Structure 1
Amino acid sequence: MKIYGIKNCNTVKKALDWLKENQISYDFQDFTKVGVNEVTLKSWEKEVSWEALVNKKGTTWRSLSDDEKAAIKDEKTANSLMQAKTSVIKRPVIESPKGLIVGFDEKEYIEKLK
């Protein structure tokens, strides 16, 4: 199982703590160190929409100009943004055997990870 995120993100910390408490092993990929490539984004978008991956509530999105926000209108433009500014991706993203999980939702973690 792979988890993608940013180590100092509070939601990622909460997810990693939950996994540790439940003795679930994982490999962690830090966006700030390794980024994310187009192939990975497209594989995620087979399970969830690009809209679910772009965190429009986060500070990175809010710091974009209105023109930059308006330019994000489809998978291609969203993927370009997510590769350029990985902190705009909702975190964590978990590739689990039972499907992709975006964000922290304990009920979904229990369902897909236990």
Structure 2
Amino acid sequence: MKNLIFCYPKCSTCKKAIDWLEENNIKYEYRDIKQENPGIEEIRQYHKKTNLPLKRFFNTSGLIYRELGLKDKLNEMTEEEMITLLSTDGMLVKRPVFITDTNVLIGFKESEWKETLINI
């Protein structure tokens, strides 16, 4: 599998992540998360590669997240319900999401990306 990054073109954090990948010569395939959001099976696979709670996959600062009142609803949802919801709209997914054969990075923290991706 190639490295894959889900981004939203207007997102400044995504732009920083792309710049960082370019500066570090890390190859990747780009997917616009709004146009081609991850499906149920993809989200399920990505979640299995992390040690993170599924709640971390949500874009908590997003408009849709707030409109749906997910801050209060997520605690009562099953993992399957959360996965299904995430697959309905890419804007619900925290970004960028960077996927390698062995890792999934959610959001851009340079130190975390450096530790995980340099020398892969």
Task: Tell me which interval the TM-score lies in, with the shorter structure as reference length.
Answer: 0.7 to 0.9
Aligned residue number for residue 52 of structure 1 = 56
Letter in 2 for 1:28: Y
Q: Cα distance, 1:42 vs. partner?
A: 0.5
- Correspondent of 1:94 among 91, 95, 98: 98
Q: Does the CA-based 8 Å contact 2:36-2:90 persist in structure 1? A: no
Distance between the aligned counterparts of 2:56 and 2:65, measured in 1? 13
Letter in 2 for 1:107: S
Structure 2 CA distance for partners of 1:85 and 1:69, relative to 1, 3 Å: farther
Letter in 2 for 1:15: A
Tell me the TM-score normalised to structure 1 length.
0.86
Letter in 2 for 1:106: E
Tell me the TM-score normalised to structure 2 length.
0.82
Q: Cα distance, 1:39 vs. partner?
A: 0.9
Distance between the aligned counterparts of 1:53 and 1:2, measured in 2? 16
Q: Does the CA-based 8 Å contact 1:3-1:94 persist in structure 2? A: yes
Segment drifting more, 37-46 vs 76-85: 76-85
Aligned residue number for residue 107 of structure 2 = 103
Q: Cα distance, 1:5 vs. partner?
A: 2.0
Q: Cα distance, 1:100 vs. partner?
A: 1.0
Distance between the aligned counterparts of 1:63 and 1:10, measured in 2? 22
Tell me the number of residue pairs that the alignment of Structure 1 and Structure 2 aligns: 113
State the secondary structure of the residue aligned to 1:25. Answer: coil
Q: Cα distance, 1:24 vs. partner?
A: 1.3
Q: Cα distance, 1:88 vs. partner?
A: 1.0
Distance between the aligned counterparts of 2:102 and 2:115, measured in 1? 9
Aligned residue number for residue 73 of structure 2 = 70
Structure 2: which 5+ runs fail to align?
A: none
Q: Cα distance, 1:97 vs. partner?
A: 4.1
Q: Does the CA-based 8 Å contact 1:36-1:83 persist in structure 2? A: yes
Aligned residue number for residue 83 of structure 1 = 87
Identity between Structure 1 and Structure 2 (%): 27
Q: Does the CA-based 8 Å contact 2:17-2:108 persist in structure 1? A: yes
Letter in 2 for 1:52: R
